[in-house]
Amino acid sequence: MYELYYWPEIPGRGELVRIVLEDAGVAYDDVGRRDPEGVADALDGVLAPYAFALPVLRAGEVVVAQSALIARFVGEHHGLAPRGEAARLACATVALTLADLVSEVHDTHHPLSVELTYERQRDAARTRARAFREHRLPKFLAYLERMLTDHWLVANTCSYADLMTFQVIEGLRYAFPHAMAAVRARRVFALHDRVAARPRLAAYLASERRLPFSEAGIFRHYPELDAPARRTRHESSTMRS
């Protein structure tokens, strides 16, 4: 039995782990849903030597932090990772790049400080969000387009990186619906749809356990931060990194 420690009221970075656990079909205790106060206590207590922040996964005596590393740990133990060292490292590279993308999304609405409310940094957020929409978002999606082999990102097998990509696309569509509608990333969007159709994940997505996005998490929709991304003359798959 795995124990997942994450805040109970938001999908956030914890959802990048949940969807891998769900698709793998393994049992896990979502500790925050069962004991919200216990999560904060654990982070200050038994988890303190292992983690700076949540999510954290406990597997017996093994404790793993950071969403990309947890997803890798679960994926490599439950058939959601390619074989061979080179392919596994390539998969981990994609996952870490997605973690970078998630951090940049967070910084569009909190560009100055996580200690300040959004309202106190709205002007800076507009500037940061515009740069993200026009430059960083197309660049990240172009990278994913280049990584796609046939149906999947690495070694033509569904991996935790594909599952993480699904969740990131979901979040981006919530936070930046207009910008995402203007971005050309047909193959990445097709990958999103293939992942969503996987039976175990589809069952989870349709369940009450799937938390909706909101303006309390990483992916937030503020209309003033969303506008169509500027189109280029080339498809995103041809853009330089």
pLDDT in tens, 17-33: 999 999 999 999 999 99
Question: What φ, ψ does residue 57 adopt, rounded to 5°?
Answer: -120, 130
Residue 239: how many other CB atoms lie within 10 Å: 16
Rounded distance between C-alpha atoms, residue 189 and residue 219, angstroms: 18
Rounded distance between C-alpha atoms, residue 174 and residue 168, angstroms: 10
Rounded distance between C-alpha atoms, residue 230 and residue 139, angstroms: 12
The pLDDT score that the predictor gives to residue 216 is 94
The CATH architecture to which 2-77 belongs is 3-Layer(aba) Sandwich (3.40)
All structural domains of the chain with their residue ranges: 2-77, 85-238
**What are the beta bridge partners of residue 30?**
4
Fold of the 85-238 domain: Glutathione S-transferase Yfyf (Class Pi); Chain A, domain 2 (1.20.1050)
Tell me the pLDDT band of 143, cut-offs 50, 70 and 90. Answer: very high
The pLDDT score that the predictor gives to residue 230 is 60
User: Would you say the C-alpha torsion 93, 108, 179, 209 has a positive or negative sign?
Assistant: positive
The pLDDT score that the predictor gives to residue 239 is 32
pTM: 0.92
The pLDDT score that the predictor gives to residue 209 is 94
pLDDT > 70 in the chain, percent: 95
Rounded distance between C-alpha atoms, residue 105 and residue 202, angstroms: 25
Tell me the pLDDT band of 43, cut-offs 50, 70 and 90. Answer: confident
Tell me the pLDDT band of 38, cut-offs 50, 70 and 90. Answer: confident
CA angle 85, 90, 94 (to 5 degrees): 145
- Asked whether residue 175 carries a pLDDT value surpassing 90, the answer given is yes
